[in-house]
């Protein structure tokens, strides 16, 4: 899987998709940082604006007392009868402010002494010095404002509950992360689907081209094999007639070679021939006996065993015989002298299974698909059409073929097809 993804990203479209995803991730991170910065700036502006309003009201009233009533400002000014109107106005302002926003408390100090407060129970400010500052502590935003009015210094302390804003930030982060991941997943999914479609298209085109080349090659080979078979048949009949009256080993060897050539021409003709099956139920016993005879005539000394667990099978007798014969021939070529070959025919859950075990060398994993290609062979003899023909025959029966390498020794060629 990792290799496949790496291969996809090496292509131009894959590289562009990767760059887009990286840029989109950076965009999402920028959005988060910007929103966090914007929220912080918004809260700071909200606090500053509120402090400005409180300072403005305090400044107006101090000037009003001193200029209109000619009363010097004293720490106990809130107790003066003239202060009641201002206090009521301040209370209305704070009640409206605290309802709309998330402010918790307000306190005004004069010469470090408590002057006025709203929901504030301490006597002193929680800072050593009265300096303009805004500090975040947990879910609180604490603001301190130093105000100078008529040459007098006041300290305004304000607290804001920011738990709601932090919750809003977390929700935004979650939603933003969700949509970013969703977008990336959709883009990556569409990219994979597109590349898979392109890959299937390329494979289909390559397969079509290979089939065309194979059909052309098959027609040429079939024409050649047809002409060659006629000559070989005549030669075979002449040699057979002369060999029957002579025990010349050389003639016998020539006869066997001609017979092999005839078998090869037959394979080439079958390779070109379209496989049209006429399935029927038949007893496989005679077919298995012919396979045993085939092994005996090979001239190779092997231990040959047949295990038949069915009374009848469903399929095309002619083509199944060709498939079984080619598997047995393949096993005979693979095993050394003194090796073992075992045939098993069985039925499991409406599926027929024919297994050919041989004690020869296992098939490498990278060759398990390649050996079923036409004209591919790991042996010195043959055209490499036997296993290809087996695959075509069993696929015509809506079945399949597989190879199993055994841990102990040898391998199993297994074909299977279903009963209707």
3-class secondary structure for 78-98?
Answer: HHCHHHHHHHHHHHHHHHHHH
pLDDT in tens, 390-406: 998 999 999 999 999 98
CA 147 to CA 52: how far, in whole Å?
10
Q: How confident is the model at residue 246 (pLDDT cuts 50, 70, 90)?
A: low
Tokens of 301: 């000394």
Confidence (pTM):
0.48
Lowest mean pLDDT across 221-230, 231-240, 314-323: 221-230
Q: How confident is the model at residue 5 (pLDDT cuts 50, 70, 90)?
A: low
* CATH 3.30.565.10-classified regions of the chain: 276-418
The answer, yes or no, to whether residue 320 has pLDDT greater than 90, is yes
- Bridge partners (DSSP) listed for residue 305: 342
More confident residue, 317 or 87: 317
Burial letters for 347-359: b for 16+ Cβ neighbours within 10 Å, e otherwise?
Answer: beeeebbbbbbbb
Q: What is the pLDDT of residue 413?
A: 94
Matching residue, tokens 């498939």: 323
Question: Which whole-number Å values give the CA distances from 287 to 216, 290, 310, 320, 420, in the listed order?
Answer: 33, 5, 13, 9, 21
Lowest mean pLDDT across 203-217, 233-247, 296-310, 376-390: 233-247
Matching residue, tokens 């929103």: 35
Instruction: Please provide residue 9's backbone torsions phi and psi, each rounded to the nearest 5 degrees.
Output: -75, -10
Q: What is the pLDDT of residue 1?
A: 47
Instruction: Please provide residue 157's backbone torsions phi and psi, each rounded to the nearest 5 degrees.
Output: -115, 130
Helix (H) or strand (E) run with residue 242 in it: helix 163-244
Residue 214, CA atoms < 13 Å, CB-side half-sphere: 17
Mean pLDDT of 373-382: 69
Mean pLDDT estimate for the chain? 79
Name which CATH class applies to 276-418.
alpha beta
Write the CB contacts of 107 (distance below 8 Å, at least 6 apart in sequence): 114, 116, 117, 118, 120, 122, 125, 156, 157
The answer, yes or no, to whether residue 118 has pLDDT greater than 60, is yes
């Amino acid at each position: 899987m990792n290799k496949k993804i790496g291969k996809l990203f090496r292509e131009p479209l894959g590289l562009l998709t990767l760059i887009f995803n990286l840029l989109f991730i950076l965009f999402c991170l920028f959005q988060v940082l910007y929103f966090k910065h914007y929220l912080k700036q918004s809260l700071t502006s909200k606090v500053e604006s509120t402090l400005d309003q409180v300072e403005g009201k305090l400044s107006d009233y101090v000037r009003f007392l001193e200029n209109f009533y000619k009363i010097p400002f004293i720490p106990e000014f809130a107790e003066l009868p003239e202060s009641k109107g201002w206090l009521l106005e301040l209370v209305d302002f704070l009640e409206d402010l605290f309802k709309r926003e998330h402010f918790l408390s307000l306190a005004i100090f004069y010469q470090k002494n408590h002057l006025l407060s709203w929901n504030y129970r301490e006597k002193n400010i929680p800072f050593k010095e009265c300096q303009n500052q805004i500090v975040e502590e947990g879910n609180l935003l604490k603001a301190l404002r130093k105000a100078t009015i008529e040459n007098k210094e006041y300290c305004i302390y304000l607290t804001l509950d920011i738990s709601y804003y932090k919750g809003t930030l977390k929700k935004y982060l979650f939603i933003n992360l969700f949509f970013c991941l969703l977008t990336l997943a959709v883009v990556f999914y569409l990219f994979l689907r597109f590349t898979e479609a392109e890959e299937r298209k390329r494979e289909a085109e390559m397969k079509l081209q290979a089939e065309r080349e194979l059909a052309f090659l098959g027609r040429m080979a079939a024409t050649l094999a047809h002409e060659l078979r006629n000559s070989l048949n005549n030669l075979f009949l002449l040699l057979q007639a002369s060999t029957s009256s002579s025990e010349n080993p050389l003639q016998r060897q020539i006869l066997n070679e001609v017979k092999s050539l005839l078998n090869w021409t037959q394979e080439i003709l079958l390779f070109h021939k379209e496989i049209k099956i006429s399935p029927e139920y038949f007893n496989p016993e005679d077919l298995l006996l012919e396979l045993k005879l085939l092994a005996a005539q090979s001239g190779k000394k092997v231990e040959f065993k047949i295990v038949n667990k069915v009374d009848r099978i469903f399929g095309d007798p002619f083509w199944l015989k060709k498939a079984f014969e080619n598997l047995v021939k393949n096993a005979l070529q693979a095993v050394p002298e003194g090796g073992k070959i075992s045939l098993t025919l069985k039925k499991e859950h409406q599926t027929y299974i024919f297994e050919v075990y041989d004690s020869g060398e296992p098939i490498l994993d990278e060759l398990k698909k390649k050996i079923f290609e036409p004209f591919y062979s790991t042996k010195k003899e043959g055209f490499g059409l036997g296993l290809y023909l087996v695959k075509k025959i069993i696929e015509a029966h809506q079945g399949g073929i597989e190879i199993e390498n055994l841990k102990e020794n040898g391998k199993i060629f297994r074909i299977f097809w279903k009963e209707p």
